[in-house]
Amino acid sequence: MANYTKVSAADGARTELHDQLGLTGAEISVNNLPAGVGVPFVHHHKKNEEIYLILSGKGTAVIDGETIDLKEGDWIRIAPAAKRQFSAAADSAISYICIQVRENSLEEYTAADAEIDS
């Protein structure tokens, strides 16, 4: 059995990678909103923070009533309790990755979690 899984994300509105990659510690989705289109609901989480990377385009996130402008290259972290909703700009589509993980669950990272193999 291989120690990796490889898939190709579709060009659809939303591709969730949890099941496709067999993820055990995170949920990752690839999202594409056409110009002028927004996610049709406001949501928050019970336990999971979300980290977003804007891949292309521009738009906004409304977080707890505050409008945040987003553009290619921006990263944003949102706490679980924050109410959020994303939209593409009127004149631009937006594509982004959302990484969802349990808040405060990271115990080790980078070098502290790595071992050199010879």
Per residue in 66-92, pLDDT tens?
999 999 999 999 999 999 999 999 999
Are 74 and 118 in contact, with CB atoms under 8 Å apart? no
Alpha-carbon Rg for the chain in angstroms = 16
Specify the CATH number for the domain of residue 64. 2.60.120.10
Does some domain include residue 67?
yes
Stated pTM of the model? 0.89
Predicted confidence at residue 84, as pLDDT, reads 97
- Tally of structural domains, the chain: 1
Beta-strand (E) ranges in 1-118?
14-16, 27-33, 48-63, 66-71, 75-78, 84-88, 94-102
CA–CA distance, 10 with 78 (Å, rounded to integer): 25
What per-residue confidence (pLDDT) applies to 1? Answer: 58
Q: Is residue 109 part of a domain?
A: no
pLDDT tens for residues 27-41? 999 999 999 999 999
The answer to the question of residue 114 being in a domain is: no
pLDDT of the residue at 79: 98
Mean pLDDT in residue range 85-113:
93
Split at pLDDT 50, 70, 90, the class of 10 is: low
What is the residue range of 22's domain?
A: 15-103
pLDDT digits (tens, 9 = 90+) for 47-71: 999 999 999 999 999 999 999 999 9
CB 28 within 8 A of CB 19: no
Confidence check: pLDDT of 115 > 90: no
In a domain, 54, yes or no: yes
